[in-house]
């Protein structure tokens, strides 16, 4: 049998193209194992569009292996290569999170295409007005703590130091303010 070209020992250069016999051997193996490999991938829920590409990749890996003709259990090698390709594919999918991708559907996602129109501006103004109204319903100290934390970006420890109270008291005021605002704003 012909061998795939390997590095030329004298010049240190690789051969430019595979020998003619190698192509014939790969074509013969392809004719014999293409359908079983297609079934192998199809049984593993691979989309039809990808099955032929994966089968081709199996034979590319085989052809790129030096002296593949001397491989003893060629069928086992082909299916092991197929399984390895699937493992590589799954790793790539996990890394890229392709399974989590949701294609854009204008019917489902049209609301996100809306730009700031007059209705949206009016709604935003109403929401802000209700938030301000709800803030003024809070006791003065609770409101001050909420404002210092959310609008002035003070951490709990600094607010406690500034007001001369314990951090746990700040946390209780924040919990009270948050609960009140969530209740008031829930109707929107």
Considering the chain, what is the average pLDDT of its residues?
Answer: 81
Residues 114-140: what's their mean pLDDT? 85
Write down the CATH number for the domain with range 20-100.
1.10.1740
pLDDT score of 101: 67
Q: What does the radius of gyration of the chain's CA atoms come to, in whole angstroms?
A: 34
> Has this prediction a pTM greater than 0.75?
no
Residues 65-78: what's their mean pLDDT? 81
Residues 80-91: what's their mean pLDDT? 90
Write down the CATH number for the domain with range 118-185.
1.10.10.10
C-alpha count within 13 angstroms, C-beta hemisphere, residue 171: 4
> In this predicted model, what pLDDT tens digit does every residue of 158-171 receive, in sequence order?
999 999 999 999 99
**Over pLDDT 90: what percentage of the chain?**
38
User: Domain spans of the chain?
Assistant: 20-100, 118-185
pLDDT band at 14 (very low <50, low <70, confident <90, very high): very low
> Which string of DSSP letters, residue by residue, matches 61-99?
HHHTSTTGGG-SSHHHHHHHHHHHHHHHHHHHHHHHTGG
Helices marked H in the chain — which ranges?
Answer: 20-42, 48-63, 74-96, 106-109, 118-136, 140-150, 156-163, 167-185
pLDDT score of 98: 60
Q: Between these two residues, 99 and 57, which has the higher pLDDT value? A: 57
Q: Between these two residues, 20 and 121, which has the higher pLDDT value? A: 121
Max CA pair span of the chain? 91
């Amino acid at each position: 049998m012909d061998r795939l070209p390997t590095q030329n020992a004298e010049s240190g250069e690789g051969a430019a193209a595979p020998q003619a016999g190698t192509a014939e051997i790969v074509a013969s193996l392809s004719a014999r194992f293409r359908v079983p490999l297609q079934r192998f991938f199809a049984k593993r829920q691979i989309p039809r569009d990808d099955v032929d590409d994966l089968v081709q990749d199996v034979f590319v890996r085989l052809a790129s292996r030096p002296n593949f003709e001397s491989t003893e259990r060629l069928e086992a090698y082909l299916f092991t290569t197929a399984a390895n390709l699937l493992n590589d594919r799954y790793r790539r999918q996990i890394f890229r999170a392709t399974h989590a991708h949701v294609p854009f559907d204008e019917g489902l996602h049209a609301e996100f295409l809306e730009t700031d129109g007059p209705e949206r501006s009016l709604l935003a103004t109403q929401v802000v007005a209700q938030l301000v109204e709800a803030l003024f319903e809070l006791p003065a100290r609770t409101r001050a703590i909420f404002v210092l934390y959310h609008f002035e970006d003070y951490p709990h420890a600094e607010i406690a130091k500034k007001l001369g109270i314990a951090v746990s008291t700040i946390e209780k005021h924040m919990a009270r303010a948050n609960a009140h605002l969530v209740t008031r704003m829930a109707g929107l």
